[in-house]
Amino acid sequence: MISRYIKEITLEEIRRILIRKCSLIDRELIVWGPQKDKGADCYFFALAGTPPKAYGIYTFCAEQHSLYLYNGRGKLIKNYYLEKEIKFD
């Protein structure tokens, strides 16, 4: 797996990548935010479905922002290193 360095990515772009790679059916992207009270600094994404069809994890710290995308079986399909934070508003 080759890592890609990109400037930024949107939630819609993440949804499209997961659909193209794993689902082929238009699905909603569900986002769970970090539990700051428990010291967690990551977001979890899933394409809606039973079971969910694809997953993503976005981790961040002061200098590094990483996005990992997985298929429904847990195989890593893409990983990105981002220059800017993902905007969640």
Amino acid occupying residue 62? A
Average confidence (pLDDT) over 37-54: 85
Total structural domains in the chain?
A: 1
Strand 76-82's sheet: what is its strand order? Answer: 4-6, 76-82, 65-71, 54-60, 42-47, 29-32
- Residue 44 inside a domain? The answer is yes
Per-residue pLDDT, 34: 83
Q: What is the pTM assigned to this prediction?
A: 0.84
Per-residue pLDDT, 56: 94
Instruction: Let me know if 34 is exposed, middle or buried by CB neighbors in 10 A (0-12, 13-18, 19+).
Output: middle
SS3 content of the chain, % helix, strand, coil (to 5): 20, 40, 45
Question: Residue 82's beta-bridge partner residues?
Answer: 6, 65
User: Which of 87, 17, 82, 80 minimizes the C-alpha distance to 54?
Assistant: 17
Per-residue pLDDT, 10: 93
Per-residue pLDDT, 2: 62
- Residue 55 inside a domain? The answer is yes
pLDDT tier, 32 (very low <50, low <70, confident <90, very high otherwise) = very high
- Residue 88 inside a domain? The answer is no
Average confidence (pLDDT) over 29-56: 86
- Residue 35 inside a domain? The answer is yes
